[in-house]
Amino acid sequence: MQEKSRLYIVVILILFTGIGLILYKHFALGFPLIPDDKKFVWTIEAKIDFEAQGDPVILSFALPPKEPNLTFMEEDFASPDYGFSEQTIPNGRRAQWSKRVATGPQTTYYRLSLYENDWIGNTPPSDQPETPKKPEFDKVFKTAAITLLDQVRAKSANSEIFARELIQTLNSTDPSQNQRLLLNDHANADYKTNLIVNLLAFEGISARVARGLYLEDGRRRQSLTNFVEVHDGDQWLLFDQDTGNSDMPENFIMWQRGGQSLLDVVGGTNSRVSFSIIRNVQSTRNLVVRSSMDSQAGLIDFSIYSLPIEQQNAFKMILLLPIGALIVVIMRLIIGIRTSGTFMPILIALALIQTTLITGIIMFLIVVSTGLLIRSYLSRLNLLFVARISAVIIVVITIMASISIISNKFGFSQAMTVTFFPMIILAWTIERMSVLWEEDGPKEVLIQGAGSLLTAIIAYLFMTNRIVEYMTFNFPELMLVNLAFILILGQYTGYRLSELYRFHALERRNVINKR
Amino acid sequence: MLLTSAKKLRSFGIIGMNQRNFGLVSKYNPRHLYPLVDDKLKTKFLAQKANISVPNLLGTLNFQHDVKKLKEMLSPHKQFVIKPVTGSGGKGILVITSHDHHYYYKPSGDALQLPEIERHVSNILSGLHSLGGKPDTVMIESLIQLDPVFSDYSYEGIPDLRIIVLKGYPIMAMLRLTTHASDGKANLHQGAVGVGIDIGNGAALHAVQFGEPVSCHPDTRKEFSELTIPHWEKLLPLAAACYEMTGLGYLGVDIVLDRDQGPMIIELNARPGLAIQVANCTGLMTRVKAVEALKHIETDPQLRCNFSIENFSTLLSLRPPRTQRTRSTD
């Protein structure tokens, strides 16, 4: 009894460790429990074109700041043989390409992939503004500006409201003469932004240009959208320069702040920047693993994910084995199915995963039955045991090769995957089956063969289940839970399902006896 | 009904495979004692030391090159049995009832030539029948002569008696009769008839073939109701003594009756199967409980047998004999 309670304590410990680790990974590291959890990954490509004049070229391009609510996965810089450096400046980063001599049309690329993480909270930039310098306006312009500002000031209580009111007034559908003069009909977006910044500066309010990109799938040749960022004394507020709206826009990435240009080209003309945007769907799991590795979370850093991809794929298979083992335990201990070789069904199931189910079963049956035929001939040759098994292995390989070649000629490429079957195991199976045939008759061969195949198919169905596959690989701790179950099943002393059939004659007898 | 309920089986005291492995085999049989019964040569020597009769050993073969000596070894003997030393469940047993130095005849009358026997021997040596394919040894034994009691109840083979011995107390017995379907082998899986034997007096109780009740031998049509094993009172202590001999608490003792030499032990089994319950139409559980409840294990096999006869007999109990009624209602 004491041993039993000790076992249960161990089981409970294992179970709790397993479940605990799973919950930790789910809640603390953000691993999703089901494979369907997807996130959008945006890939933004900035293409910079210009004409080089045959002189030294220096290209300086603003890069988006790293905000805490965005995770940058990859940044690539591509150029035709340019020197490259990344520089950090106040308010952001810039990329700089340079070349001694370049002529003709030139193109460089900057590619960024990012996704929005679950970081909660606002992310206003924390830098302090410089005191605004009063801009120099010409007389007419100045008069118009003062009139407009007076008008706006009369309606506002603080600088936030002032800025919003100013933008709304400038954008009003029926502008006054002053506004029209200030806005200058032919002006572009940049002009308007500068105007607003200057007007605010005139009023003594710090403001700056902010440029960002709306993220929309499949867009090409996009350009940045201008915003005005206003400092209200405590923090920076972002204003849409066309509506005065100060909410942070959705699906938007801030690219550049401050008055610096987006792109500076020295030694080139006709420069232009265009952005294209692609949205990819990626599983959250991939993103989490990647970011956890970057941040060196201990549990992830010392785990299967730190292995090279090739080994990871091998482990993907290996981690499925315990599921197969659990199925075998259930089939043998609870159901009572007889299989030839205890764990042969798992190996068959692994082979089935490679060959797909139907092809795999057909191939298995063909190889084993042909093998049995040939083995029965070999048994007449009076060979020593080890030599006979080796002969069977060669026969199995020959059968596999012929199946592959024949099916290839007929154009079924699937059948070629037969090579995934573990050949030595198959040879052993054939040998054991044929001995079984001689000693216990074909019925026993059928029972055990069918039992093995059935167990293998059930194991296969579980092992190829997307959720099972996902869980075993991403939560290897699940093995502990599995282990706990197997330990419990090891204690099962009840009847097997097959015994209910085996002893059914007894029931009839006993009923008669009681009468 | 094809399936019965677990509750009913439990009420009959039927022991399932998991229960057997967990509650009997691993509880009473220390692993290190297994070789004593898995290796038939060891069993034989142990039995001889304990003055328990066993079939005569005619010779052994250990290596592949010994196969050449086979003809020479076999020639002086008219009849013999070739067995793997570590085979289980009657696997790899070849019985030769007569030979004329050219052809060797199996009980079925099939003739074999020497090369075929040599191949059989070399298969055994390579470990075909042994557990885990380990290299094996071949033993050649004298053939058991069929006791006339069984002549009407067996077909081309020797019936054997399986007695389950728990902590030295015989608790259940079954006679396994060879049939045409079983190819002369006393193996229930292959169609031998299992006859439940009363522990009290050796009389037949029930019989099953392929798990279904039968009342007479399928080949000889002889009714089992007239079958009683002779010398039962001598046979039982023989089985009980195997407990001291091996130290295994849960043991299947296989006994044959030789016409000339009487009861002999041919094999011991540390993991005896559960078909005996079907043949007896009784579960093992109540009897296991009764033995487990004993505070003191008698050291004399005879005393233990007396306990078994008193407690585990169906026919000698106070109730009217159950079997008679059963047979009439069948």
What is the residue-averaged pLDDT of chain B? 85
pLDDT tens for residues B264-306?
998 899 988 888 988 888 889 999 999 999 888 888 889 999 9
Question: Contact A163/A152 with Cβ under 8 angstroms?
Answer: no
Domain ranges in chain A? 39-130+208-296, 131-205, 313-475
pLDDT tens for residues A35-73?
766 778 888 888 899 998 888 889 899 988 887 778 787
Q: What is the DSSP letter of B31?
A: G
Separation CA B98–CA B142 (nearest Å):
12
| B288/chain A closest Cα distance in angstroms | 15
Q: Is the pTM of this model over 0.95?
A: no
Span A7-29, average pLDDT: 89
Which of A175-179, A387-391, B255-259 ranks highest by mean pLDDT?
Answer: B255-259
Closest residue on chain B to A513 (Cα): B326
| B298/chain A closest Cα distance in angstroms | 26
pLDDT tens for residues A266-313?
888 888 888 888 887 777 777 777 777 666 666 666 667 777 767 777
E strand residue ranges, B146-224: 160-166, 169-177, 193-197, 204-209, 212-213
Span A421-438, average pLDDT: 76
Give me the pLDDT at residue A135, please: 81
Separation CA A431–CA A411 (nearest Å):
32
pLDDT tens for residues B153-180?
888 788 889 999 999 999 999 999 988 8
| B25/chain A closest Cα distance in angstroms | 12
| B204/chain A closest Cα distance in angstroms | 16
Between chain A and chain B, the number of residue pairs with CB atoms below 8 A apart is 103
Higher-confidence residue of A489 and A341: namely A489
Question: Contact A427/A396 with Cβ under 8 angstroms?
Answer: yes
Using the Cβ of A333 and the Cβ atoms of chain B, whether some distance falls under 8 Å is answered with yes
Closest residue on chain A to B323 (Cα): A513
Task: Using the predicted structure, report yes or no on whether residue A152 has a pLDDT greater than 80.
Answer: yes
pLDDT exceeding 90 applies to what percent of chain A? 8
Judged by CB atoms closer than 8 Å, whether chains meet at A506 and B91 is answered as no
Report yes or no for ipTM above 0.95. Answer: no
Question: Contact A239/A228 with Cβ under 8 angstroms?
Answer: yes
Question: Contact B168/B240 with Cβ under 8 angstroms?
Answer: yes
Give me the pLDDT at residue A482, please: 92
CA–CA–CA angle A241, A242, A247 (5° rounding): 65
Give me the pLDDT at residue B131, please: 63
Burial class (CB in 10 A: 0-12, 13-18, 19+), B168: buried
Give me the pLDDT at residue A357, please: 84
Judged by CB atoms closer than 8 Å, whether chains meet at B213 and A441 is answered as no
Using the Cβ of A139 and the Cβ atoms of chain B, whether some distance falls under 8 Å is answered with no
What is the pairing mode between strands A236-240 and A70-78?
unpaired
Separation CA A291–CA B249 (nearest Å):
60
Separation CA B315–CA B324 (nearest Å):
10
CATH topology of domain A39-130+208-296: Immunoglobulin-like (2.60.40)
Give me the pLDDT at residue B255, please: 92
The closest CB to that of A505, out of B64, B118, B212, belongs to B212
Q: Does domain B6-50+147-329 have CATH number 3.40.50.620?
A: no
Backbone angles phi, psi at B2, to 5 degrees: -85, -30
Query: Counting runs of H as helices and runs of E as strands, what totals does chain A give?
Result: 17, 13
Separation CA B14–CA B21 (nearest Å):
14
The closest CB to that of A494, out of B16, B122, B123, belongs to B16
A394 CB-near residues (< 8 Å, 6+ apart): none
CA–CA–CA angle B165, B170, B173 (5° rounding): 95
Span A106-122, average pLDDT: 78
Task: Using the predicted structure, report yes or no on whether residue B250 has a pLDDT greater than 90.
Answer: yes
For residue B116, list chain A residues with Cβ-Cβ distance below 8 A.
Answer: 382
Higher-confidence residue of B47 and A384: namely B47
Give me the pLDDT at residue B323, please: 44
**CB-hemisphere CA count at 13 Å for B202?**
14
Using the Cβ of A515 and the Cβ atoms of chain B, whether some distance falls under 8 Å is answered with yes
Question: How does DSSP assign A67-113, residue by residue?
Answer: -TTEEEEEEEEE-SS-EEEEEEETTEEEEEEEES--EEEEEEEEEEE
Give me the pLDDT at residue B326, please: 42
Give me the pLDDT at residue B322, please: 44
| B82/chain A closest Cα distance in angstroms | 15
Q: Which residues pair with B138 in a beta bridge?
A: B61, B84
Span B61-90, average pLDDT: 86
Q: What is the CATH number of domain B57-142?
A: 3.30.1490
